[in-house]
A and B are shown apart, each in its own frame.
Chain A
Amino acid sequence: MYLACEIHRMIHMKTPLVCSALASLLWWGCANPVSWENDIHIPVLDDRVTWADVVPDSLYEPGVDGGPAHFVLVDTLDGWDWTAWSQLPDTTLSIRYDGEGVLTNGVPVQEGLPVALDQDNLPFVEIELNQPEGLELTEARLSGGAIQLEVQHSLQCEVNVLFTFPGVQINGAPMDVPLQLPAATDAVAGSESAVVDMTGAQFDFTQVGGFDSNALEVQVVAVSGPVTAPSGIYIVQPSDSIVMNLTFQSFEVETLAGYFGQLTEGASSDVALLDTVPLPEPSIDLEGTTASLHVTNTIGADLRLFIDTLQFDDNLVEGDLIAGHDIPRAVWVNDAPVPSEWSLDLGSPGSSFLEELEAFPRSLHVAGRMQLNPINTSEFLMDRLDVAYPPTFWYELRVPLKLGVNGLVLRDSFALEGLDDVPNFDGFLHLDFSNTFPVEVTGTVAFDRLDGVLYRDTLVLPAGSAPQDVTGEGTLSIPVNAEMLMPGGDVEVELRVNTFGTQPFTGHEFVRLQGRLEGTQLIEVE
């Protein structure tokens, strides 16, 4: 309907010019309405449908030298969330300087003098995480996060404490945390807390003697402030203590080194292959098809992929694909990974993958597991991770476009509103089709007008051939006049597609649709 209106407008584009010209010629005496017929031929429609219009460029490669095009499907599989590995859970560690241990008892505290601590036996921070199992870290660099220090003591004097972490540097500077603790009373401990931004912090977990991972040294210097005991003198008791709680908050790792432990995560995915169009008697020639899974491993750790289920519709893919596949680790050179490429040929003779694909399945279901460090290599502490280089799990499917569809029927129908103001035009909209697809298309247009008249026309568009430069041509002529446009009605379009067996498509095929308006316009000048 809209097209008819626009055609009407286009016809009338010339009308003002014509009318003004004639009116200027007849201006002096044309008192009565005059009309005449104007035969026009003008192009109104030109469209070309190619593979690029229906398939993204990334999904096909045009054929070379007349060879078939390839349907190329390359995409990542997002079953595993690699980013989760870069986030450490919030953890709280507690260190106690006990009056029966490091905190020397029986010694009076005096304002301005250090509180006696056994420096040779200071406790250290030991990292213990439940997941992944066996995690041993030697180095870590953070891109974000914070540490909250909360210190409590029972000494009845004010204490100035300086905590120093020799294994931690924040943007190149050592991590020192001074705290001024109020004096404790008999009922309430003296406490203070501080939060340190750890963005850019570099951890070295190997500086504690006897440990090559997971340990952080903490140095403490405590100096007494004014004594608040009623006697004016306070002597450290065995029951006294200084307790430091370290809480790691929202740690985000930038790099990790050590041994990442063992972890297994499962994932599954469903891919829709053919959506809604039922294909009668489809055929596909899969000779030359390649299908493969790939992993670009940028983690300095071994992986093992278990493909548990590979299923087209209701049919399981059988063969040697269903097994564990070892994926070697990336090699770390100059603080950057050299990825390890791994691929699995899904179309190997030992699998039924391609046979199942020939049946034009509608969906594909994949389920599997990924195991980190399937072999325990904790003794070497050589795992590496840089979150800037995430691993990629992807697949590639290359199918030569040699397809056959016999009797595919596409139907659509819509209501066409009647026009109240019908242009004074009587002619045809000729739709010229040029086809180089090796497909014969038979189209039928039926217009069931509300006045009871049924208009039907058929288009037969022969198959063409892009390699042989053969174009199938056909024309569909649609009447454009008041008789057709005024009543309105229902339009039903039906297309039957037939390839007469499997045909190679080169990717250079196109269908060109040109519309030309030919008819007679009645021009009236009042």
Chain B
Amino acid sequence: MKALQQILIWTALLWVRAATAQDLVADLTPPAERGAASFEVWANQRTNAFTSGFVHTAQQGGFLSREFLQDMLDAHPVLGGMGGQVGWSKRFSTRPLGDGPWALTGAFGSEVLVSALWRRDLLELGLIGNANHTGRVDVFNGTGMRVGAFNRVSLGIEHKDTRQRVELSLVQRLAGVEWGIPNGSFWVSEGADSMEVNMQAYGVASLDAFPDTSGFAFSQILPAYGVGLSGSLPLTSELFPIQFLVDFQDVGVMWERGGGLIAAVDTGFATTGLAVPFTQYFTEGLGTSDGLTWQDVADGTTGIEPDSLYFVSDSAFGRMLMLPTKIQANLHWWPSPDVQVRATARAGAWMPEPEFTFGVGWIPGKRLAFGVDYRTGGWGGGRPVMWLECRVTKKRILSIEVDDPAGWMWGSEAAANTYGRGVRFSLRRIPGAGWTRFMGLSNRDLRGPAPVAPLKLPQSSSQ
């Protein structure tokens, strides 16, 4: 925090000095306006395992039939996942500092990330049991869940011509919960005469004490802080209408301080069933059994203390974690002034696999553009994306992107086969004069074509 304060103070001083210098040479320097700015709000949820129809039906409650569950499991991938993101962000860029091309830029915002992964075996075991696949090893490895609420602020510089940008990010994880099963399995022999279970699991939470009977208190939360780099690297062809943009956010690490909650389980057992010491009842303890018996369970003399099966502490060691980094690469191509083709690859943000987007857009006029994309990866499979950009003022563009539009029709037949939904609103201010603008709608000039000057014909004489 202290470093951040110093950065802010120095930045303010530099800005004051630049403004003073600009005042002094105002007449000598060309006017430069503020750079791009934006305000974004987004929310999305996606899974690769549950259709909206399945979730809606389960949400209604009642009895879930075997056929209903089996249909879902038949289409379920080996590793199921679900993720969600909700957040907002505000970005700004100042006028270039002094005579130079660099301007101060920054952003701040918040986001909640949810990530859950599970093995189909685990789901099948829980929903329909093991009766139909005895003899098979059910593997739980990789199952887990993460939830985190992040606040971030970044500050850096942006070049008005190349639009290259680099920022230092300070990230606060306000709260986080995580649990997982790195190693787990369940096996029952084909004849159901032996069973083997292994379980390695852990759970951590950024709380310094277990919520007691008085309930949860915000003072129990242990925030974590991290530092990362953010930036943008646009590459625009001067010969072709192609633009390539790499954008990265929060590439860095986070320090989770000690004192949080941690729980761990590392146990396993193999059994063919517990014995019942029948003979002891008749021979007065003659046939004493070395193993665990049902009688031991009944008498409470198993010698197994529940506390010994797991580890729980509210004094976890501190650890270093990766920030929820986001990396995105965009490729735009305008084969004609009215048509836009784009391809986007996005990774990070706890997504289990990269997300790819391909699409085409139409720019029918100076104020409107819209298109349809095909997006796949991330938390789910392929789905359509519709987007619309509308220049609401001379300098401001309102964008709306709807991920899997049918998914929003919750409960309807149309949404039954969707796997999620998402939306992103953004209000962007295009950079002012003196800044390089990207191609596309934001580069259209609203002033209209310049008036054509009357053609001056050469004069001649007949004498």
- Which residues of A does B touch, CB under 8 Å? 2-3, 6, 14, 17-19, 21-22, 24-26, 28-49, 52-56, 432, 513-516, 518, 520-521, 523
Contact = CB atoms under 8 A, between A and B. Distances in A.
B185 to A, nearest CB: 13
B272 A514 contact: yes
Contact of B275 (A19, A26, A47, A520): A47
Contacts of B134: 41
Contacts of B132: 39
Nearest to A517: B192
B287 A514 contact: no
B273 A45 contact: yes
A54 B283 CA distance: 6
23 contacts: A17-B126, A24-B145, A25-B118, A30-B61, A31-B59, A32-B62, A33-B61, A34-B61, A34-B62, A35-B62, A36-B69, A36-B127, A39-B132, A43-B192, A43-B194, A45-B294, A46-B193, A46-B271, A48-B275, A54-B283, A513-B276, A514-B193, A518-B192
B50 A25 contact: yes
A44 B192 CA distance: 9
A45 B192 contact: no
Contacts of A44: 273-274
A41 to B, nearest CB: 4
Top 6 closest pairs, chain A to chain B, by CB: A32-B61, A18-B126, A53-B287, A39-B131, A46-B273, A39-B129
Interface in B237-283: 271-279, 282-283
Contacts of A24: 116, 145
A513 B273 CA distance: 10
A21 B62 contact: no
B195 to A, nearest CB: 5
A22 B127 contact: yes
A516 B286 contact: no
Contacts of A521: 129
Nearest to B140: A17
B126 A22 contact: yes
Contact of A516 (B50, B55, B62, B273): B273
B131 A516 contact: no
Given A34-B62, A53-B283, A520-B129, 13 more contacts: A22-B126, A25-B55, A26-B59, A32-B61, A33-B62, A36-B127, A36-B128, A45-B274, A46-B272, A54-B283, A54-B287, A55-B286, A513-B276
Contacts of B116: 24-25
Contacts of A47: 273, 275-278
Given A53-B279, A54-B283, A516-B273, A43 B195 contact: yes
B134 to A, nearest CB: 5
B456 interface: no
Contact of A21 (B64, B123, B130, B298): B123
A415 B130 CA distance: 34
A348 B132 CA distance: 66
B143 to A, nearest CB: 8
A434 to B, nearest CB: 10
Most interface-central of B273, B286, B297 (chain A CB within 10 A): B273
B82 interface: yes
A460 to B, nearest CB: 20
Nearest to A519: B131
A445 to B, nearest CB: 15
B458 to A, nearest CB: 77
B66 interface: yes
B193 A30 contact: no
Interface residues of B, number: 52
Most interface-central of A6, A33, A40, A521 (chain B CB within 10 A): A40
Contacts of B273: 43-47, 514-516
Contact of B125 (A14, A36, A48): A14
Given A25-B116, A35-B63, A44-B273, A52 B287 contact: yes
B58 A34 contact: yes
Contacts of A34: 58, 61-64
Nearest to A52: B287
Contacts of B58: 26, 30, 34
B129 A30 contact: no
A36 B188 contact: no
B136 to A, nearest CB: 12
A24 B45 CA distance: 14
A41 B125 contact: no
B61 A36 contact: no
Contacts of A42: 130, 188, 192, 195
Contacts of B6: none
A25 B272 contact: no
A508 B282 CA distance: 20
A46 B127 contact: no
A49 B277 CA distance: 9
Contacts of B45: 28
Nearest to A51: B287
A18 B287 contact: no
A28 B421 CA distance: 14
Contact of A6 (B69, B192, B294): B294
Contacts of B128: 36-39
A34 B65 CA distance: 11
Nearest to B82: A25
B192 A41 contact: yes
Interface in B167-190: 188-189
Given A41-B188, A44-B273, A432-B193, A35 B64 contact: yes
Interface string B140-157: 000101000000000000
B385 interface: no
A101 to B, nearest CB: 70
A49 B118 CA distance: 43
A516 B193 contact: yes
Contacts of B214: none
Contact of B192 (A3, A54, A516): A516
Contacts of A33: 61-62
B36 interface: no
Contacts of A48: 275
